[in-house]
Structure 1
């Protein structure tokens, strides 16, 4: 997958970061429910810049949707 496609990964699509799996969920502009916002010392800006996680801002995403990332547990 190209960086461009990954940066705008569609709503409902899963992705892996290390041994953890996340799913893209449409949201408002509030990041409080995002799995990356809940981590101590949130590094989401760095993770997005280095293409470890997709873009979350609707201003940048091709689909113009604000999204958050939820960890998929017990799959």
Structure 2
């Protein structure tokens, strides 16, 4: 297995390694994919909880609780 992974973020989220592509949205759902995309784009620095709160469920009445789940 190669140490090189290719990540496609436009039009979904796919990770490819050695010609094997995995569609992450199909595996984990859109909300977790949105969270993963933010973490990937900010991989050079820690992401604070406050920055992540609105990602899983922006319409939530208790966004801190939504992030926990």
Shorter chain as denominator, the TM-score bin is under 0.3
Larger strand proportion of the pair: 1
Larger helix proportion of the pair: 2
Structure with higher Rg: it is 2
| TM-score, normalised relative to structure 1 | 0.22
| TM-score, normalised relative to structure 2 | 0.22
